[in-house]
Structure 1
Amino acid sequence: MKRLSAVETLGSTTVICTDKTGTLTENRMRVTHLWVAGRQREPATAGGDRLCRELAVAAATCTTAHLPGDGAPAAGGDPTELALLRLAAGLGVPVSGNSRDSARSVLYAFDPRSKRMSTVTGGRLHVKGAPESVLPLCTRYLDGSGRFSTLTGSVRHEVGAAVDAWAATGLRVLAVAQRIAEPDLLAAGREAAERELTLLGLVAMVDPPREAVPAAVSAAHRAGIRVHVITGDYGPTAAEIAAQVGIGDGRQRVVTGAELEQMGDADLDRLLAGGQEIVFARSSPEGKLRICEALRSEGHIVAMTGDGVNDAPALRRADIGIAMGRSGTDVAREAATMVLTDDNFATIVRAVEAGRRVYDNVRKFVLYIFAHAVPEVVPFLIFALSGGAVPLPLTVLQILAIDLGTETLPALALGRERAEPGLMDRPLRSPKAGVIDARLLLRAWGVLGVASAVLVTAGFLWVLWRAGWQPGIDMPDPVYAQATTMTFAGIVACQIGTAFAARTDHASLRSIGVFSNPLLLGGIAFELAFTAAVIYLPPLQAVFGTAALGVAELLFLTPFPLLVWGADEIFRARARRRGADVTKEEPSCESATS
Structure 2
Amino acid sequence: MSIPEIITTETPWTSNYEAALKQLHADPEHGLSAAEAVRRLDLYGYNRIESGKKINPLMIMVNQFISPFMLLLAIAAGLSFFFQEWLDGIAIMAVIVINAVIGFFMEFQAERSMEALKKLTIVPARVLRDGRLSEIPSEELVSGDIIFIEGGDMVTADARVIKSTQLQTDESALTGESLPIEKNVSVLPEKTPLAERYNMLYKGTFVTNGNAYALVVQTGMHTELGTIASMVQKAGQAATPLEKKIRSFSKKLIWMTVILLVIIFIAGIINGQNLVQMMETSIALAVAAIPEGLPIVSTLALAFGMLRMARHNVLVKKLSSVETLGGTNVICTDKTGTLTQNKIEAAFIQINEGASRINLDIAGASIKWMDGNEIEDRAAYDQLCCIAALCNTATYYSEGGTEKESGDPMEVGLLKMVYCGHTKQLDYIKEYPKLDEVPFSSDTKVMATFHGSKQGYYIAAKGAVEELLHSCTSVLEGSEVVALDESKRNNWLNYAEQRAQSGLRMLAFAYRNTSEKESYFLHQLTLAGLIGFIDPPRPEVSQAIAECKSAGIKVVMITGDHPATAKNIALQLGLANQEDEVMHGNAMKPYAELTAEDKTKWLNTSVFARVSPAQKLDLVSLYQEKKMVVGMTGDGVNDAPALKKADIGIAMGQRGTQVAQEVADMVLKDDAFSSIVLAIKQGRTIFDNIRKFIIFLLSCNMSELFVIATAAILNLHFQLFPIQILYINLITDVLPALALGVTKAAPHIMERKPFSSSEPIIDRERWKALFVYSSVIAIATISAVFASHGLLHADEAWNTDLCNNILFYTLIFSQVLHVFNMYFERGVSFFKSEVFTNRYVWYAVFACTILALSAYWIPAIRDVLKITIHGWKDWSIIIVFAFLSLLINQLLKRLKVII
**TM-score grouping bracket, smaller chain normalisation:** 0.7 to 0.9
Alignment of 1:276-295 (within 5 A): 276-281=604-609, 283=611, 285=613, 287-295=615-623
Name the Cα RMSD after superposition.
4.6
CA shift for structure 1 position 322: 1.7
The higher radius of gyration belongs to: 2
Return the match for 2:425 from 93, 115, 129: 93
Measure the CA separation in 2 of the matches of 1:501 and 1:108: 73
- Aligned pair partner of 2:730 in 404, 420, 425: 404
Corresponding residue of 1:423 = 749
Aligned twin of 1:344: 672
Give the distance between the partners of 1:143 and 1:33, measured in 2 at CA: 24
Of 349, 363, 367, which residue of structure 2 is paired with 1:34?
A: 349
1:140 matches 2:466: no
Aligned pairs (5 A) from 1:151-550: 155=489, 158-162=492-496, 164-165=498-499, 172-175=504-507, 202-204=530-532, 212-231=540-559, 235=563, 238-248=566-576, 250-255=577-582, 259-265=584-590, 270=597, 273-274=600-601, 276-281=604-609, 283=611, 285=613, 287-387=615-715, 390-444=716-770, 446-465=771-790, 466-468=792-794, 475=798, 479-504=799-824, 508-510=828-830, 511-512=832-833, 515-550=836-871
Aligned partners of 1:7 and 1:354 also within 8 Å:
yes
Contact 1:353 1:424 in 2 (8 A): yes
**Structure 1 residue 25, shift from structure 2 partner:** 5.2
**Is the 2:652–2:661 Cα contact (8 Å) retained in structure 1?**
yes
* Partners of 2:693 and 2:598 in 1: CA distance: 41
Q: Which runs of 5+ in 1 are unaligned?
A: 97-102, 110-116, 129-133, 179-197, 579-594
Displacement, 1:561?
A: 4.9
CA distances 1:268-298 after superposition (whole Å, capped 9, x unpaired): 9746625645223455555544433443344
Question: Matched residues in 2 for 1:430 and 1:536: separation?
Answer: 49
The corresponding residue for 2:118 is none
1:13 to 313, 328, 341: 328
CA distance in 2 between partners of 1:346 and 1:498 (Å): 37
1:439 to partner: Cα distance = 2.8
- Kindly provide the amino acid, as one letter, of the partner of residue 518 in structure 1: R
2:742 match: secondary structure = coil
- The whole-number CA distance in structure 2 between the counterparts of 1:302 and 1:152 is 53
Larger displacement relative to structure 2 (352-361 or 324-333): 324-333
Aligned AA (1:164): Q
Distance 1:317 1:481 in 2: 60
Q: Deviations for 1:72-123, whole angstroms, at most 9, x for unmatched residues?
A: 9654679866533323445533599xxxxxx99x9999xxxxxxx999999x
Q: Is 1:558 matched with 2:879?
A: yes
Superposition deviation, residue 9 in structure 1 = 1.9
User: What is the distance in 1 between the residues matched to 2:611 and 2:468?
Assistant: 23
Q: Is the contact made by 2:446 and 2:468 (CA closer than 8 Å) also made in structure 1?
A: no
Q: CA deviation at 1:365?
A: 1.0
Alpha carbons of 1:376 and 1:262: their partners in 2 closer, same or farther (altered >3 Å)? closer
Deviations 1:5-41 (A, max 9, x none): 2222212212112244554456676535334799758
Q: Name the aligned partner's letter for residue 784 of structure 2.
A: G
SS of equivalent to 2:581? strand
Q: Deviations over 1:431-470 (max 9, x none)?
A: 13332333332222x2110000001111123334433488
Q: Residue 343 of structure 1: CA displacement? A: 2.3
Q: CA deviation at 1:546?
A: 1.1
Higher deviation after alignment, 42-51 or 491-500? 42-51
Distance 1:25 1:297, change over 3 A: same
Going from structure 1 to structure 2, the CA distance change for 1:426 and 1:407 (only over 3 Å counts) comes to same
Q: 1:281 to 1:450 in 2, by over 3 A?
A: same
Post-superposition shift, 1:358? 1.3
Deviations 1:521-545 (A, max 9, x none): 1000101111111123333211221
The one-letter amino acid paired with 1:5 is: S
| Mapped partners of 2:758, 2:610: distance in 1 | 35
Distance in 1 (alpha carbons) for counterparts of 2:560 and 2:415: 22
Contact kept? 2:332, 2:557, Cα under 8 Å:
yes
Q: Could you tell me whether the CA contact under 8 Å between 1:247 and 1:277 is conserved in 2?
A: no
Change (3 A) 1:140 1:577: farther
Q: 1:84 aligns with which of 414, 424, 427?
A: 414
Partners of 1:108 and 1:410 in 2: CA distance:
71
SS of 1:247 mapped into structure 2 = coil
Structure 2: unaligned runs, 5 residues or longer: 1-315, 357-374, 430-435, 451-460, 511-525
CA distance in 2, matches of 1:57, 1:338: 45
Residues 368, 502 of structure 1: 8 Å contact kept = yes
Q: What do the CA deviations read for 1:218-267 (whole angstroms, capped 9, x no partner)?
A: 3322333212223456555544543454334x3552315xx331333466
Contact 1:67 1:76 in 2 (8 A): yes
Paired residue type of 1:31: A
CA shift for structure 1 position 403: 1.0
Cα 1:542–1:452, aligned 2, differ >3 Å: closer, same or farther?
A: same
Identity among equivalent positions (%) equals 29
TM-score, normalising length from structure 1? Answer: 0.73
SS in 1 for 2:845: helix
Report the Cα offset of residue 165 of structure 1: 4.8
Q: Any conservation in 2 of the 1:448–1:568 contact (CA below 8 Å)?
A: yes
Distance of aligned partners of 1:211 and 1:501 in 2 relative to their CA distance in 1, 3 Å threshold: farther
Q: With the length of structure 2 as denominator, give the TM-score of the two structures.
A: 0.50
1:592: which partner in 2? none
The count of aligned residue pairs is 521
The equivalent of 1:113 in structure 2 is none
